Every structure is written in C-alpha cells, then in structure tokens.
C-alpha cells in the first residue's frame, strides 16, 4: 500500500459518518497530513471528535476557507441527502478537482445534474474495513476523468485496501450488495455463531470470542492461502466427523446459498431503487 504523502491539493470530506470516518481513519493512519483535510459535518459531537484528530472541520459549506482548492471531494452523506447537499459544492468543479462518491445507488449522471456538467465524478463503493487498511473498493470513473484524476482516486483508495476498476457502472449495484454491505453479513455470522454456541451451553463471552476469532482467522487464512475457499472448507471437514454434520444443514437445498442469493438480490434491487428515489 502506498503512503499518501503527495495528494496534489487538499481533501474535502462532505459528511463524515460511518463510511467517511472509516476512510478518514485509514488515510490518517497511512500518513495523510490532518492539516490537508477539510470536513463538512453537521453533527456537532462528530465535529468535536474529528477536531481532536487535527483535521479542519465546519458545520456547513459556508465555513470552508474561500480559497480552498480541493484535489478530491469525498461525497459521503447518505444517498437521501445528496439532492440537498451536493449543489453547494458545484463551485469546486474544475479540471484539477474530482468528486469521489461512495453513495449507494447514486449514478454519475444523477450527481452531475446536481454538480454541473463539468464536474468529474468517480463513483466508488468501499467498505468499512478501510478503517484498518483492509477494505475493498470498486470504482467507475466518469468518461471525462483524466488519467491523473483516476490515478489520484485509485491511490487514495489503495491506501486503505484493495481496489478494482469497473467500466460498467451498472454492476456497482451488485458490488454494493456483495462487498459494500458484506461486512454486516459477516458480523451477523459472528453473532449467529456465538448465539448458537450459547444455546449449546457455552458461556456468552467465550462463545463470542470463539466466533469472532474464528471468523477473522478463517478470513485471514482465505486471504493468505494459495488454496481456494472450497478446498479450505474441505480441509476442515473430516470424513464422518463433526463439521460434516453442520455442513449437511448449511449446504442443504434450503441452506445458506439460496438464502445468500436472496439477500444479495434484495440489496442489489435496493441500490438500483436509490438511484431513482429515496
Ligand atoms: N456504512 C457503510 O458501511 C457504507 C456506506 N456507504 C455509503 O456511504 C454514505 C454514508 O453512509 P454512512 O457513513 O453509513 O452514513 P452516516 O449517516 O453515518 O454518515 C453520513 C454523515 O453525513 C452527514 N451529513 C448529512 N447532511 C450533510 C450535508 N449536507 N453536508 C455534510 N454532511 C452531511 C450526516 O450528519 P447527520 O447524521 O447529522 O445527518 C452524517 O454524519 C452513504 O451514501 C452510503 O451509501 C458506502 C459503503 C459502505
Ligand atoms: O446499507 C447501505 O445502504 C450502505 C451501502 C453499503 C453499505 N452500507
């Protein structure tokens, strides 16, 4: 992962909640100077937390320095807040500035309607493990993005995890369902595994520790191993052993796969809906 030391201008964050905050923490941890970061965040308690990190914070756009020339503007309010929030930032649209949106569903075309036709918008879908440098982001650049704008956005995102570029913006709704929301499904798996352990007689704290360390350890093994997930699964499953009994339940016709397929289809559908309405 590169150190971000040479962003050619400041970074402006519009909205610094869960996702904006995760990216910010990842960037600060990797060497982005706090003095180069400007944040607009209406929530006062959050502004106080942010100010303690040494970044510049204000409650709305009017509090920004008049001569601010951001190289990147991260758009990280909720999709439902875009129509109200974005027009105030149209004045920054210049060839050496790009808007990096992380909002679910909001298309590049829709954002350009709010920011003006000259705005260069990169639509990205990150996830919250970015806070610990272990995120994954897929992005689609506007057709008018320059090579330099793609590179800056890509370098920023690579600093907090893996990055893939997609030409087909339409696929970002499925990306949103799989990896944008993916950490939530994994946290739910931890919760369910722990609850099942308690139901099998384990003390609650031990059950949570077993579930949480097992999920993160298995994730790390999947990441570092040369073997694919199916092989790693088979490596755990002894013939006529205990895991097989559990997998017979999880891999039944009405098991985890059809459930996951339905869940991802529902999230993908919702991302497409967010493009049109709230
Ligand atoms: N959470 C996640 O894991 C992921 C989220 N995303 C996307 O990231 C975006 C943010 O989501 P998330 O962080 O969860 O949401 P949050 O509600 O946590 O963060 C949004 C923040 O923006 C603030 N805000 C509202 N209006 C404005 C405004 N006009 N100007 C500046 N800031 C404003 C909100 O303040 P207030 O609360 O006072 O309204 C809030 O603090 C969404 O578009 C979402 O689709 C993408 C990938 C993953
Ligand atoms: O739930 C959401 O809509 C956002 C987008 C992906 C993760 N969180």
**250 domain-assigned:** yes
- Confirm or reject: Cβ of 79 under 6 Å from ligand 2: no
In the annotated binding site for NADP(+), the residues are 76-79
What pLDDT is recorded for position 48? 97
- This prediction has a pTM of 0.96
- Confirm or reject: Cβ of 126 under 6 Å from ligand 1: yes
**45 domain-assigned:** yes
Ligand located closest to 106 CA = 1
Q: Which atom of ligand 2 is nearest to the CA of 271?
A: 3
**Using CA atoms, how far apart are residues 219 and 231, in angstroms rounded to an integer?**
14
**2 domain-assigned:** no
**31 domain-assigned:** yes
What pLDDT is recorded for position 182? 98
One domain, residues 145 and 57: yes
In the annotated binding site, the residues are 76-79
The residue among 198, 2, 259, 14 whose CA lies nearest residue 114 is 14
- Confirm or reject: Cβ of 19 under 6 Å from ligand 2: no
The residue among 209, 188, 187, 185 whose CA lies nearest residue 197 is 209
Nearest CA to ligand 1 atom 16: 17
185 Cβ contact partners less than 8 Å away, ≥ 6 residues apart? 260, 263
What pLDDT is recorded for position 73? 98
The CATH number of whichever domain residue 231 belongs to comes to: 1.10.3730.10
One domain, residues 153 and 230: no
**52 domain-assigned:** yes
Query: Looking at residue 118, what DSSP letter applies?
Result: T
What pLDDT is recorded for position 253? 97
What pLDDT is recorded for position 6? 65
**151 domain-assigned:** yes
One domain, residues 21 and 91: yes
Per the structure, the complete domain to which residue 134 belongs is given by 10-168
From first to last of the 278 residues of the chain, give the pLDDT tens digit: 455 556 888 999 999 999 999 999 999 999 999 999 999 999 999 999 999 999 999 999 999 999 999 999 999 999 999 999 999 999 999 988 999 999 999 999 999 999 999 999 999 999 999 999 999 999 999 999 999 899 999 999 999 999 999 999 999 999 999 999 999 999 999 999 999 999 999 999 999 999 999 999 999 999 999 999 999 999 999 999 999 999 999 999 999 999 999 999 999 999 999 988 66
Ligand located closest to 131 CA = 1
One domain, residues 189 and 244: yes
One domain, residues 89 and 224: no
One domain, residues 44 and 71: yes
Q: How far is the CA of 239 from the centre of ligand 2 (A)?
A: 40
122 Cβ contact partners less than 8 Å away, ≥ 6 residues apart? 98, 99, 100, 101, 139, 140, 141, 142, 145, 149, 150, 153
The CATH number of whichever domain residue 135 belongs to comes to: 3.40.50.720
What pLDDT is recorded for position 278? 67
One domain, residues 119 and 246: no
**Helix axis angle, 204-224 to 229-236, nearest 10°:** 130
Antiparallel, parallel or unpaired: β 98-101 and 70-75 = parallel
One domain, residues 63 and 146: yes
**4 domain-assigned:** no
Query: In the chain, which ranges are continuous DSSP H helix?
Result: 18-29, 44-51, 82-85, 108-115, 147-158, 172-175, 182-199, 204-224, 229-236, 242-250, 256-276
Q: Is the dihedral of CA 47, 48, 49, 53 positive or negative?
A: positive
One domain, residues 34 and 121: yes
**Using CA atoms, how far apart are residues 124 and 170, in angstroms rounded to an integer?**
12
The position carrying tokens 């520790």 is 209
Of 140, 168, 196, which closes a domain? 168
- Confirm or reject: Cβ of 180 under 6 Å from ligand 2: yes
Report how far Cα 246 is from the mean position of its chain's Cα atoms: 32
199 Cβ contact partners less than 8 Å away, ≥ 6 residues apart? none
**175 domain-assigned:** no
Ligand located closest to 40 CA = 1
Query: In 79-201, which ranges are continuous DSSP H helix?
Result: 82-85, 108-115, 147-158, 172-175, 182-199
The position carrying tokens 């098991």 is 255
Q: How far is the CA of 259 from the centre of ligand 1 (A)?
A: 28
Q: How far is the CA of 228 from the centre of ligand 2 (A)?
A: 27
Q: What are the CA-CA distances from residue 110 to residues 119, 219, 236, 246, 275 (Å)?
A: 11, 36, 48, 47, 8
**Using CA atoms, how far apart are residues 159 and 134, in angstroms rounded to an integer?**
9
Token pair, residue 108, equals: 């590049």
- Confirm or reject: Cβ of 176 under 6 Å from ligand 2: yes
What pLDDT is recorded for position 276? 80
Q: How far is the CA of 152 from the centre of ligand 2 (A)?
A: 24
Q: How far is the CA of 82 from the centre of ligand 1 (A)?
A: 10
What pLDDT is recorded for position 167? 94
What pLDDT is recorded for position 4? 58
Angle CA(163)–CA(169)–CA(172) in degrees, nearest 5?
Answer: 60
Substitution candidate for ligand 2 out of 137, 181, 184 with most atoms within 8 A of CB:
181
* ipTM (interface pTM): 0.99
Angle CA(204)–CA(206)–CA(207) in degrees, nearest 5?
Answer: 65
Q: Which atom of ligand 2 is nearest to the CA of 274?
A: 3
Question: How many domains, the chain?
Answer: 2
């Amino acid at each position: 992962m590169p150190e971000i030391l040479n962003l050619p201008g400041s970074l402006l964050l519009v909205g610094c909640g869960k996702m904006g905050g995760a990216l910010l923490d990842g960037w600060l941890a990797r060497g982005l100077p706090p003095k180069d970061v400007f944040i607009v965040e209406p929530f006062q308690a959050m502004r106080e937390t942010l100010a303690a990190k040494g970044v510049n914070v204000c409650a709305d756009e009017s509090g920004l320095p008049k001569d601010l020339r951001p190289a990147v503007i991260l758009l990280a309010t909720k999709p439902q807040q875009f129509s109200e929030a974005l027009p105030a930032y149209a004045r920054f649209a210049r060839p050496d500035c790009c808007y990096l949106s992380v909002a679910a569903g909001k298309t590049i075309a829709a954002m350009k309607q709010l920011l003006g036709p000259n705005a260069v918008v990169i639509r990205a879908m990150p996830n919250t493990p970015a806070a610990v440098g272990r995120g994954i982001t897929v992005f689609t650049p506007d057709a008018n993005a320059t090579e330099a704008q793609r590179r800056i956005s890509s370098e920023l995102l690579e600093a907090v995890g893996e990055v893939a570029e997609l030409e087909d913006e339409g696929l970002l709704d499925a990306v949103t369902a799989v990896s944008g929301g993916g950490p939530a499904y994994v946290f739910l798996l931890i919760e369910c595994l722990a609850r099942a352990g308690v139901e099998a007689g384990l003390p609650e704290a031990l059950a949570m520790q077993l579930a949480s360390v097992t999920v993160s350890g298995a994730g790390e093994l999947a990441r570092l191993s040369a073997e694919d997930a199916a092989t790693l699964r088979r490596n755990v499953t002894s013939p006529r052993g205990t895991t097989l009994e559990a997998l017979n339940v999880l891999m039944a016709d009405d098991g985890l796969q059809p459930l996951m397929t339905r869940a991802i289809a529902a999230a993908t559908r919702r991302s497409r809906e967010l493009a049109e309405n709230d």
